[in-house]
Chains A and B, each alone.
Chain A
């Protein structure tokens, strides 16, 4: 994020303005992400995980769920995001298949760890993690998993009353995000002289217009899952 140096001045509001504008810029980016997130949760179809053993609906993740969703997207001719990583002669590493991306909650990371040895490979166990994204947690079969604390969760909405996590798995052609000319990411500052008749208050705001679209509905699925056991924060 670029620091809003353009608004530096010599008045006493400088520090406050700089801090608030930085927070506002973060909020603006998060707002973009959350809008896209909620849109995908609403518009894309769902697969309830059934490969886990917790007896809920959806169940916790089993490796067969990763296999099922990858099979579904492959059958629908979706394009994978990443080509595979060839195996190397390094202890504790293994090859990574060409993969779709899955966007998951950080709260599921312990469940993914529980699948180690059954198909889950942490990104530190990739032969090389040069292509791993900063938020990438690991890989199961043809799915590479990105985690975020902002991933969607419906609290207490499962058949047995547990939290339901929405894990969006997508092929390359699934969605697009459109920023309209002249309306992408405006951080607006109007000094007090322009903001009120008495020049008492400044205006600090963000404005953006965006459009998102599912360009190919067959190349995206929300896999719903619960956790194997309760969380302790």
Chain B
């Protein structure tokens, strides 16, 4: 009986303490085992976890310092399979709750939930109903996909946006905050690079190296050609690809000169002056508010990735919304592609949930099987 079985194994290095991570496979496994060499060496924490299909999605048997425990499917923080093929899939509504809210902060507002939010660094969420009163709150940012930047506790996380402006009112206990909610965008990077919402525009002293911060990963590459679509209320319309006052109808594109991390990249685009980015939109303007965007439109790369001693034709890599893809993009296991070309980053495999609780830099071994036969 080995006609249809699939076997795979590999190694993964944890990037963020306590975060879930995804392993991409060319099949959907019905058995997974993960072993954390880092925790075994430390003599504390979860040494290993095991899952098979009959346990149900999100379950796992954990070995925590030689003590076995069982994570139920209802808890859901164990191991589950993932088939990321269709876009626009959203997780359940998570209410911030009576004690929940969002702080005012210039670059890293803290979102607080009453119950555990279950998110990991790199996940992407969309907020709804950010009212403090009927006419105040943060509805200006509702509907924007935000990457989870940090997860200080199980009931708090931060996002990248400037909510310090006078038009924002903190979401806090005692108002309509109980209606405020978010949904997770389950697979935010199925096709890359991606249209992205701009969170900030910073201009270097020479006026050329302009750093673009996006609210979620855009997956652009060095050499990428990008276009800007910035409505006038947001400020730096000088970046926009159209109108072109010199050659009417001919779009002006910018080129990515460096990629800092999942949400930041630098472009070179000539302009005499740049209007400051203005995130402080009036609350009352939110119905129909059009967001500032950066769109990949092409690239100047003409070949594959430079040879670095590893695979000769490596798979393209993306920041796909899971741990491991925050500072370094993860492989898609798809065929080789030209850098900067649009790629299909759909994937399947398994996700190891937060119950596994690795520490950053832990080396984790994994095995995954799809068996011929299950009784």
Interface residues of A (CB under 8 A from B): 34-35, 37-39, 41-52, 54-59, 75-77, 152-161, 164, 166, 196, 201, 212-214, 217-218
Q: How far is the CA of A189 from the CA of B129 in the complex (A)?
A: 52
Residue of A nearest to B188 (CB): A42
- Asked whether, in the complex, the Cβ of A38 is within 8 Å of the Cβ of B191, the reply is yes
- Asked whether, in the complex, the Cβ of A43 is within 8 Å of the Cβ of B191, the reply is yes
Q: How far is the CA of A38 from the CA of B191 in the complex (A)?
A: 7
Segment of B16-24, B28-36, B286-294, B324-332 in the binding face: B286-294
Q: How far is the CA of A4 from the CA of B88 in the complex (A)?
A: 34
- Asked whether, in the complex, the Cβ of B128 is within 8 Å of the Cβ of A156, the reply is yes
With A34-B86, A41-B87, A55-B287: A159-B195 Cβ-Cβ less than 8 Å? no
Q: How far is the CA of A55 from the CA of B289 in the complex (A)?
A: 11
Residue pairs across A and B with CB atoms within 8 Å: the count is 122
- Asked whether, in the complex, the Cβ of A35 is within 8 Å of the Cβ of B194, the reply is no
- Asked whether, in the complex, the Cβ of B90 is within 8 Å of the Cβ of A42, the reply is no
- Asked whether, in the complex, the Cβ of B195 is within 8 Å of the Cβ of A42, the reply is yes
B150 in contact (CB, < 8 A): no
Q: How far is the CA of A70 from the CA of B90 in the complex (A)?
A: 30
- Asked whether, in the complex, the Cβ of B295 is within 8 Å of the Cβ of A161, the reply is no
- Asked whether, in the complex, the Cβ of A214 is within 8 Å of the Cβ of B297, the reply is yes
Q: How far is the CA of A166 from the CA of B251 in the complex (A)?
A: 24
Q: How far is the CB of B96 from chain A (nearest CB, A)?
A: 13
Interface residues of B (CB under 8 A from A): 3, 86-88, 90, 93, 126, 128-130, 139, 142-143, 181, 183, 190-195, 227, 229, 241-243, 249, 251, 286-291, 293, 295-297, 342, 344
Q: Which residues of B contact A217 (CB under 8 A)?
A: 227, 241, 251, 295, 297
Given A46, A157, A201, A212, which contacts B128 in the complex, CB threshold below 8 Å?
A: A157
Q: Which residues of B contact A43 (CB under 8 A)?
A: 191, 193-195, 295-296, 342
Q: Which residues of A contact B295 (CB under 8 A)?
A: 43-45, 217
Q: Which residues of B contact A218 (CB under 8 A)?
A: 227, 241-242, 251
- Asked whether, in the complex, the Cβ of B195 is within 8 Å of the Cβ of A51, the reply is no
- Asked whether, in the complex, the Cβ of A159 is within 8 Å of the Cβ of B90, the reply is no
Q: Which residues of A contact B251 (CB under 8 A)?
A: 76, 217-218
- Asked whether, in the complex, the Cβ of B191 is within 8 Å of the Cβ of A154, the reply is no
Given B249, B286, B288, B293, which contacts A49 in the complex, CB threshold below 8 Å?
A: B288
Q: How far is the CA of A213 from the CA of B295 in the complex (A)?
A: 14
Q: Which residues of A contact B287 (CB under 8 A)?
A: 50, 54-57, 59, 159
- Please name 19 further chain A to chain B contacts, defined as beta carbons within 8 Å, in addition to the given A57-B143, A157-B126, A159-B287, sorted by A numbering: A42-B192, A43-B191, A43-B195, A45-B229, A48-B288, A48-B290, A48-B291, A58-B143, A58-B288, A59-B288, A76-B242, A76-B249, A76-B251, A152-B87, A152-B88, A156-B183, A158-B143, A161-B181, A217-B241
Q: How far is the CA of A156 from the CA of B193 in the complex (A)?
A: 24
Name the residue among B88, B183, B288 with the largest chain A CB count within 10 angstroms.
B288
Q: How far is the CA of A115 from the CA of B110 in the complex (A)?
A: 42
Residue of A nearest to B286 (CB): A57
With A55-B287, A157-B90: A46-B195 Cβ-Cβ less than 8 Å? yes
Q: How far is the CB of B217 from chain A (nearest CB, A)?
A: 12
Residue of B nearest to A212 (CB): B342
Q: Which residues of B contact A34 (CB under 8 A)?
A: 86
Q: How far is the CB of A96 from chain B (nearest CB, A)?
A: 26
Q: How far is the CA of A164 from the CA of B195 in the complex (A)?
A: 16
Q: Which residues of A contact B190 (CB under 8 A)?
A: 38, 42
- Asked whether, in the complex, the Cβ of B241 is within 8 Å of the Cβ of A159, the reply is no
Q: How far is the CB of A116 from chain B (nearest CB, A)?
A: 22
Residue of A nearest to B93 (CB): A156
Name the residue among A77, A154, A214 with the largest chain B CB count within 10 angstroms.
A154
Q: How far is the CB of A229 from chain B (nearest CB, A)?
A: 16
- Asked whether, in the complex, the Cβ of A196 is within 8 Å of the Cβ of B3, the reply is yes
Q: Which residues of B contact A212 (CB under 8 A)?
A: 342
- Asked whether, in the complex, the Cβ of A47 is within 8 Å of the Cβ of B128, the reply is no
Q: How far is the CA of A46 from the CA of B88 in the complex (A)?
A: 14
Q: Which residues of A contact B93 (CB under 8 A)?
A: 156, 161
Q: Which residues of A contact B227 (CB under 8 A)?
A: 45, 217-218
Q: How far is the CA of A71 from the CA of B193 in the complex (A)?
A: 27
- Asked whether, in the complex, the Cβ of A47 is within 8 Å of the Cβ of B126, the reply is no
Q: How far is the CA of A40 from the CA of B76 in the complex (A)?
A: 33
Name the residue among B86, B128, B297 with the largest chain A CB count within 10 angstroms.
B128
